[in-house]
Amino acid sequence: MPLTEDQNAEINAQRAQTTPTLRAVSEGMESHLYKAYPVLDHGFIRVVDYMGDDAAICQAARVSYGRGTKSVQNDEGLIRYLMRHWHSTPFEMCEIKLHVKLPVFVARQWIRHRTANVNEYSARYSILDREFYIPAPEHLAAQSVVNNQGRGEALEGAEAARVLEILKSDSDQAYDHYEEMIGQDGQKGLARELARMNLPANVYTQWYWKVDLHNLFHFLRLRADAHAQYEIRVYADEICKVVADWVPAAYRAFEDYRLGGANLSGRAMDCLRRMLAGETVTQESSGMSKGEWREFEGMIS
């Protein structure tokens, strides 16, 4: 279980407290505040704070002191215009702070998005829990033969069982040695900052991750994509649900122009115009490489 009874009780106590405020409040986000949403076998995401809403994006775009236009429809039109034309700074007026529990190897992918403020659980000071990510059988897959960063066919039967047993036994053995090295019952052991290096990359860590909406959208565009690694994509999918309630107009624009849209190169636009004019265009006559042509065909098919 990602949360203990004590942790759930603490969250319920936080949600029971209300404080009057003059700042802008997103009713959709208030329903998510402090709640923990399970991800993978031991992980979760939860919102611990946020700033701004759809109106804050419009206010920043107009640099006004009021709510801007009188119509919600006009505000949504402005947000769509900003998203469509890549005007990013108004989206930076909204921020979110998440508490995330995730495997270390996922964290190492996640931290490549360097446009956030991060504070991670320190295994120099504290002892890590015996919690490791063990994939569900359906997510055990062989190496892809066409993509060095991807997965191929799912493992089945005895091969899947063998891999799962290796993952579980290696994780447990590493943690047994970790406990042995740091010492128990008052024994003098190895420093925690050294003992932690023996733990595998599937051990769970936690952090607070604060990011503005523009950079969050960039993260979600890459990590909620179908081609992203499953283990980070499921975190992005959970965050998408929260963001859709927090800034619904901005999320609809993001979903339309970024998640559901496509960027075409000058050559691709030229090919599209020629096709619309009735010309038969092939990869050889397109001026594109085989990879570019394959991606272009995927966009228009």
Same domain flag for 71 and 211: yes
Catalytic residue among 196, 223, 233, 294: 223
Q: What is the pLDDT of residue 186?
A: 62
Same domain flag for 20 and 129: yes
Furthest-apart CA atoms within the chain: distance in Å: 81
CB 3 within 8 A of CB 44: yes
CA separation for the pair 180, 161 (Å, rounded) = 28
Same domain flag for 126 and 255: yes
Same domain flag for 110 and 227: yes
Same domain flag for 294 and 192: no
CA separation for the pair 160, 157 (Å, rounded) = 6
Tell how far CA 286 is from the center of its chain: 36
Same domain flag for 123 and 224: yes
CB 57 within 8 A of CB 93: yes
| Phi, psi angles (nearest 5°) of residue 245 | -85, -30
Q: What is the pLDDT of residue 65?
A: 59
CA separation for the pair 114, 97 (Å, rounded) = 15
Q: What is the pLDDT of residue 179?
A: 93
Same domain flag for 14 and 81: yes
CB 228 within 8 A of CB 247: no
CATH for 254: 3.30.1360.170
Same domain flag for 13 and 154: no
Same domain flag for 226 and 174: no
Which residue, among 179, 244, 217, has the nearest Cα to 32 in the 3D structure?
A: 244
Same domain flag for 128 and 244: yes
What sign results for the dihedral spanned by CA atoms 52, 57, 62, 68? negative
Give residue 271's domain range. Answer: 266-300
Same domain flag for 38 and 171: no
In one-letter notation, the amino acid at residue 143 is Q
Q: Is 223 a catalytic residue?
A: yes
CB 45 within 8 A of CB 107: no
- pLDDT, averaged per 10 consecutive residues of the chain (301 residues), comes to 79 85 90 96 96 94 66 84 95 97 97 95 92 93 70 84 95 95 80 94 97 98 94 98 98 96 93 96 95 92 84
Give residue-wise pLDDT tens across range 147-197: 666 777 888 889 999 999 999 999 999 999 999 999 876 677 899 999 999
Q: What is the pLDDT of residue 112?
A: 95
Same domain flag for 88 and 158: no
Q: What is the pTM of this model?
A: 0.90
Residue with tokens 């066409």: 146
